[in-house]
């Protein structure tokens, strides 16, 4: 097989990149080691930044999102039963959309296949070679047979555990990692949300979050030990912990059947650079942020917008400058988002080894400042709705927004 861009991974990054390239007349093949049914059912993040929403609409894959997504113009910070609303739209003029990542994936898959795009499911990439030459090769297996996909460029969008990052020479990149001493126990419940906007809760027993998925589905999280076994958390224990942490006078947390639950460790991770030769990493293959800031999917979208623009300039005009600066451009945003996600995580979670409560008092001071200062609330709001995606338009130092 031969294509222009070989894409490993059919998550939001790989599928959106394929879609953006197709709009520029650039061919691609997407390889996904899981089945279509698995990928479309995989529950992940659900908060879309302002620019993520806009790019899906502007490129023709946002119709269902506009019908079914939930527009939010604020969020609540809740501390010891007292809530403060952060008015995101009032402070920034921008908004967020709650629309499950798996729904974005469904829309992108349907659109790519309807347009004649090639997305190969249950096609496991086993090796990537030739990234220092003019033609790279992705070897993969499908239906028990081995295949080769030759391409000009490889986009590694296969997540933290994929093969793409491992295809980079050891000397060509560095990994920076921070593991947190806690995780999130996330549940999806068949019950109408108890809130119209997300609620982030600080409690001495640990962090809790009430998110939404639809008018019929709620998504909730509690801070837990990352080493916990999910069997240690029967449904009644989860609801009891949520009721305790999120309690507020005059407010009721609705309970219903839990249809999905899992424990996710929390990690910060960045690969520098995000490219070598003909291989470009995007999304979780290049970086992971703690989920407190709701940035994982949005950061992947920002990556592929920059990468697609660079590939379009290369194929159309032979320009290499945008591709050469892909890592430099993407990493500026990555580290700002790491900062925000780390800040939110440190402000809202209880940490072990704080016997005299020093760190908790610092957290309370942070929360008092954010909820009492318009300037501090604006800073949170600007990050939460999303920083603009930018690229260098030419050799001049000025920046333009995509």
Q: Given this model, what pLDDT does residue 390 score?
A: 62
Question: Does the pLDDT of residue 148 top 70, yes or no?
Answer: yes
Cα 113 from Cα 131, distance rounded (Å): 28
Sign of CA dihedral 146, 152, 154, 155: negative
Question: Which of 112-121, 125-134, 176-185, 390-399 shows the lowest per-residue confidence on average (mean pLDDT)?
Answer: 390-399
Q: Given this model, what pLDDT does residue 400 score?
A: 39
Binning pLDDT at 50, 70 and 90, where does residue 213 land?
Answer: confident
Per-residue pLDDT of 182-200, as tens digits, reads 999 999 999 999 999 999 9
- For residue 159, give the nearest of 261, 260, 271, 38 by alpha carbon: 271
Cα 115 from Cα 287, distance rounded (Å): 30
Per-residue pLDDT of 249-283, as tens digits, reads 999 999 999 999 999 999 999 999 999 999 999 99
Number of residues assigned to the chain: 402
The two three-digit tokens of residue 151, written as one number: 């391409």
Give the start-to-end residue ranges of the domains of the chain: 2-71+95-178+267-351
pLDDT, average across residues 170-180: 96
Q: With pLDDT > 70 as the criterion, what percentage of the chain qualifies?
A: 97
Cα 41 from Cα 38, distance rounded (Å): 5
Q: Please give the CATH number for the structural domain made up of 2-71+95-178+267-351.
A: 3.50.50.60
**Interacting residues of 134 by C-beta distance below 8 A, sequence separation 6+:** 152
Q: Given this model, what pLDDT does residue 45 score?
A: 74
The two three-digit tokens of residue 88, written as one number: 């995101």
pLDDT, average across residues 228-240: 96
C-beta separation of 48 from 97 below 8 A: yes
C-beta separation of 10 from 118 below 8 A: no
Question: Does the pLDDT of residue 392 top 70, yes or no?
Answer: no
Q: Given this model, what pLDDT does residue 214 score?
A: 86
Question: Does the pLDDT of residue 393 top 80, yes or no?
Answer: no
Please give the radius of gyration of the chain, using alpha carbons only, rounded to the nearest integer. 21
Question: Does the pLDDT of residue 396 top 90, yes or no?
Answer: no
Provide the phi-psi class of 211: left if phi over 0, else alpha when psi is between -120 and 50, else beta.
Answer: beta
CB count in 10 Å sphere of residue 145 = 7
The two three-digit tokens of residue 304, written as one number: 């592929």
Binning pLDDT at 50, 70 and 90, where does residue 391 land?
Answer: low
Indicate if 200 belongs to the active site. Answer: yes
Pick the residue with more confidence: 62 or 396? 62
Indicate if 291 belongs to the active site. Answer: yes
Q: With pLDDT > 90 as the criterion, what percentage of the chain qualifies?
A: 92
pLDDT, average across residues 93-111: 96
CB count in 10 Å sphere of residue 270 = 18
* Catalytic residue selected from 50, 72, 210, 276: 72
Sign of CA dihedral 338, 341, 346, 350: negative
The two three-digit tokens of residue 237, written as one number: 């224990």
- For residue 297, give the nearest of 19, 94, 15, 6 by alpha carbon: 15
Q: Given this model, what pLDDT does residue 304 score?
A: 98
Q: How far is CA 218 from CA 265, 307, 316, in A?
A: 21, 34, 46
Cα 140 from Cα 152, distance rounded (Å): 17
C-beta separation of 273 from 307 below 8 A: no
**Interacting residues of 214 by C-beta distance below 8 A, sequence separation 6+:** 68, 70, 100
Cα 242 from Cα 249, distance rounded (Å): 15
Label residue 9 exposed, middle or buried (CB < 10 Å: 0-12, 13-18, 19+). buried
- For residue 243, give the nearest of 259, 232, 254, 234 by alpha carbon: 254
* Catalytic residue selected from 280, 291, 326, 349: 291
Per-residue pLDDT of 352-390, as tens digits, reads 888 899 999 999 999 999 999 999 999 999 999 999 876
Pick the residue with more confidence: 219 or 397? 219
**Interacting residues of 365 by C-beta distance below 8 A, sequence separation 6+:** none
The DSSP 8-state label assigned to residue 281 in this structure reads E
Q: How wide is the angle at C-alpha 275 spanned by C-alphas 341 and 32, nearest 5°?
A: 80
pLDDT, average across residues 130-145: 97
pLDDT, average across residues 100-118: 96
**Interacting residues of 384 by C-beta distance below 8 A, sequence separation 6+:** 75, 86, 88, 96, 293, 294
Question: Does the pLDDT of residue 106 top 50, yes or no?
Answer: yes
Indicate if 295 belongs to the active site. Answer: yes
Mean pLDDT across the chain, nearest whole number?
94
* Catalytic residue selected from 19, 111, 287, 295: 295
pLDDT, average across residues 329-348: 97
Sequence-ordered alpha helix ranges (H) in 24-87: 36-41, 50-58, 63-68
């Amino acid at each position: 097989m031969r294509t222009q861009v070989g894409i490993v991974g059919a998550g939001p990054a790989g599928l959106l990149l394929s879609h953006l390239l197709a709009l520029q007349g650039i061919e691609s093949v997407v390889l996904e080691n899981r089945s279509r049914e698995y990928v479309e059912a995989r529950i992940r993040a659900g908060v879309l930044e302002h620019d993520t929403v806009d790019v899906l609409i502007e490129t023709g894959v946002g119709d269902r999102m506009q019908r079914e997504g939930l527009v939010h113009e604020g969020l609540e910070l809740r501390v010891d039963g007292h809530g403060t609303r952060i008015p995101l739209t009032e402070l920034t003029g921008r908004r967020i959309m709650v629309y499950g990542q798996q729904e974005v994936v469904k829309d992108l898959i349907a659109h790519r296949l309807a347009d004649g795009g090639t997305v190969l499911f249950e096609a496991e990439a086993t090796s990537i070679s030739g990234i220092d030459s003019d033609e790279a090769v992705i070897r993969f297996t499908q239906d028990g047979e081995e295949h080769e996909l030759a391409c000009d460029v490889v986009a590694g969008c296969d997540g933290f555990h994929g093969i793409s990052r491992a295809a980079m020479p050891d000397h060509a990149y560095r990994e920076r990692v921070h593991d947190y001493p806690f995780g999130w126990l996330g549940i999806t419940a068949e019950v109408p949300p108890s809130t119209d906007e997300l609620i982030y809760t600080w409690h001495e027993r640990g962090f809790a979050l009430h998110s939404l998925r639809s008018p019929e589905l709620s998504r909730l999280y509690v801070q837990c030990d990352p080493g916990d076994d999910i069997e240690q958390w029967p449904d009644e224990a989860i609801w009891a912990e949520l009721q305790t942490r999120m309690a507020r006078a005059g407010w009721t947390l609705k309970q219903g059947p839990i249809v999905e639950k899992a424990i996710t460790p929390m990690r910060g991770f960045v690969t520098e650079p995000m490219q070598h030769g003909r291989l470009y990493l995007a999304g979780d293959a290049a970086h992971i942020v703690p989920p407190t800031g709701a940035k994982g999917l949005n950061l992947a979208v920002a990556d592929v917008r920059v990468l697609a623009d660079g590939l379009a300039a290369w194929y159309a005009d032979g320009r290499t400058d945008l591709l050469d600066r892909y890592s430099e451009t993407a990493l500026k945003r990555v580290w700002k988002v790491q900062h925000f996600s780390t800040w939110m995580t440190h402000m809202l979670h209880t940490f072990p080894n704080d016997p005299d409560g020093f760190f908790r008092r610092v957290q309370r001071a942070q929360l008092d400042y954010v909820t009492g200062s318009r300037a501090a609330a604006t800073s949170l709001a600007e990050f939460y709705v999303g920083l603009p995606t930018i690229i260098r338009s030419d050799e001049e130092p000025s920046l333009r927004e995509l």
